[in-house]
């Protein structure tokens, strides 16, 4: 298969928008005698006039060869061996050209068979992600018609969609992700394959799906994404309780949270919500309804904060298990911030005479989530301001940490 080569005069990608460390890494690989291109989402985003979040490199160098070439390299993964180049908090992902079987619909359990650039492209998910960029010639290399699809804003798989979704069901979530983010038109055959293969999603790695979910909550298009996940039945397979709640009239509360989060993420110079806050936005309306029903059933005996904390922990497990395993650190933060909502706005209707700041180190997360609630319910704004002022004063008066710095012994020579 001969690739179509698209010159700079046609594609008009501004090379100054490409991460300079990515350009240096490609140049270093080429100097060492390897083929290397920028590939995937970064090229798609540049062609769609979006700012890329990550820059990925595809090369003929094997992972161990990349590691020898770069001192800042670590190798990750077994099923899909990758090299990560670390530049402070930034990571450049370097993958070796691979080849795969596009004819069988068996689930891909290992993907470490090296191949050519052409073989690497045809095993990728969608045509819009199958374009190489030769950064030295500033030329696009397109084996699959991805450039024309991007121009037409058209989305379909590379190869037979039914096979591609069964090989890797996460591709169905990625399909809805791109539709939500870019408003692309989905190929009818690809859409039909999605409907017929959606039950396959539970065969995927829960860690990969959870990461895709987090990325979409951080994307500024979370409301569109969750709407599509519900519409096509993927959310029902993964998070049935949230899916059922969204189908009732109370479901608009979750969509309101997502809409507000999308606006915050798109606001320039505004701190972005943490993952614990983002995922809690999907849960809080359901939790709040559940606890208020408890109060209605047993009037005069609202649960105390200790009991609410236990209920929140069990509730998180109930929502995410058996498929997902929420990382312990994120779950702990979710428990803290969701429980704190009933310190800030108690279930029983009583006047809080004195504001007491709890000793919990991450109480600030509860305040951040309460601020999000106040954006949706302006009546809560006064309460938020009182608690925020009290917390600010508490931090000013709080004595500095008495923990002594770690001392390192000198090695004996």
pLDDT of 301 above 80: no
Find the angle CA(262)-CA(363)-CA(343) to the nearest 5 degrees: 95
End-to-end CA separation in angstroms for the chain: 63
Per-residue confidence band for 409, with pLDDT thresholds at 50, 70 and 90: very low
pLDDT band at 68 (very low <50, low <70, confident <90, very high): very high
Q: Given a cut of 70, is residue 360 above it in pLDDT?
A: yes
**Cβ neighbours around 64 below 10 Å, total:** 13
Q: What is the mean pLDDT of residues 23-48?
A: 96
> How confident is the model over 178-235, as pLDDT tens digits?
999 999 999 999 999 999 999 999 999 899 999 999 999 999 999 999 999 999 999 9
Q: What backbone torsions phi and psi does residue 235 show, to the nearest 5 degrees?
A: -65, -35
Asked if 43 and 55 touch (Cβ cutoff 8 Å), the reply is no
Beta-sheet pairing, 131-134 with 36-39:
antiparallel
pLDDT given at position 80:
80
Q: What is the pLDDT of residue 355?
A: 87
Phi-psi region of 45 (alpha: psi -120 to 50; beta: other; left: phi over 0): alpha
Residue 101 has pLDDT above 60, yes or no: yes
* Mean pLDDT calculated for residue range 380-401: 88
Mean pLDDT of 387-410: 70
Name the nearest CA neighbour of 39 among 119, 94, 114, 116: 94
Residue by residue, DSSP assigns 37-102 as EEETHHHHHHHTT---S--EEEESS-HHHHHHH-TTEEEE-SSS-EEEEEETTEEEEEEE-B---S
Model pTM above 0.75: yes
Q: How confident is the model at residue 347 (pLDDT cuts 50, 70, 90)?
A: confident
189-202: pLDDT as tens digits: 999 999 999 999 99
**Domains delineated in the chain:** 1-152 (3.30.460.10), 153-246 (1.10.3090.10), 274-394 (no CATH)
Between CA 24 and CA 30 the distance in angstroms is 10
Indicate the pairing of strand 131-134 with strand 73-76: unpaired
> What is the 3-state secondary structure of 39-55?
ECHHHHHHHCCCCCCCC
d(CA 150, CA 154): 6
């Amino acid at each position: 298969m001969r690739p179509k080569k698209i010159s700079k005069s046609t594609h008009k990608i501004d090379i100054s928008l490409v991460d300079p460390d990515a350009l240096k890494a490609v140049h270093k690989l080429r100097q060492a005698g390897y083929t290397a291109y920028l590939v995937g989402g970064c090229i798609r985003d540049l062609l769609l006039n979006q700012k890329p979040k990550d820059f990925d490199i595809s090369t003929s160098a094997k992972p161990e060869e990349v590691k020898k070439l770069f001192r800042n390299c670590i190798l990750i993964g077994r099923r899909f061996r990758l090299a990560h180049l670390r530049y402070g908090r930034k990571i450049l992902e370097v993958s070796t050209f691979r080849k795969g079987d596009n004819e069988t619909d068996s689930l891909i359990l290992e993907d470490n068979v090296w191949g050519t650039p052409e073989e690497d492209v045809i095993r990728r998910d969608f045509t819009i992600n199958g374009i190489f960029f030769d950064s030295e010639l500033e030329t696009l290399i397109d084996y699959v018609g991805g450039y024309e699809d991007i121009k037409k804003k058209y989305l379909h798989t590379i190869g037979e969609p039914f096979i591609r979704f069964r090989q890797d069901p996460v591709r169905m979530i990625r399909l809805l992700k791109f539709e939500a983010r870019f408003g692309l038109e989905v190929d009818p055959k690809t859409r039909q394959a999605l409907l017929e293969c959606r039950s396959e999603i539970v065969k995927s790695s829960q860690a990969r799906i959870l990461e895709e979910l987090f990325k979409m909550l951080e994307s500024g298009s979370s409301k569109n994404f969750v709407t599509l996940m519900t519409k096509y039945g993927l959310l029902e397979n993964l998070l049935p309780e949230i899916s059922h709640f969204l189908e009732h009239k109370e479901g608009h509360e979750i969509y309101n949270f997502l809409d507000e989060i999308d606006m915050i993420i798109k606001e320039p110079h505004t701190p972005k919500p943490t993952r614990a806050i983002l995922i809690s936005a999907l849960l809080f309306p359901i939790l709040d309804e559940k606890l208020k029903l408890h109060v209605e059933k047993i009037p005069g005996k609202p649960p105390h904060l200790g009991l609410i904390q236990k209920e929140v922990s069990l509730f998180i497990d109930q929502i995410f298990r058996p498929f997902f395993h929420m990382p312990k650190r994120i779950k702990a933060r979710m428990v803290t911030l969701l429980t704190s909502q009933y310190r800030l706005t108690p279930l029983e209707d009583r006047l809080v005479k004195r504001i007491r700041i709890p000793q919990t180190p991450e109480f600030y997360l509860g305040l951040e989530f309460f601020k999000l609630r106040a954006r949706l319910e302006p009546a809560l704004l006064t309460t938020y301001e009182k608690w925020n002022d009290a917390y600010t004063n508490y931090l000013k008066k709080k004595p500095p940490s008495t923990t002594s710095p770690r001392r390192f012994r000198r090695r004996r020579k």
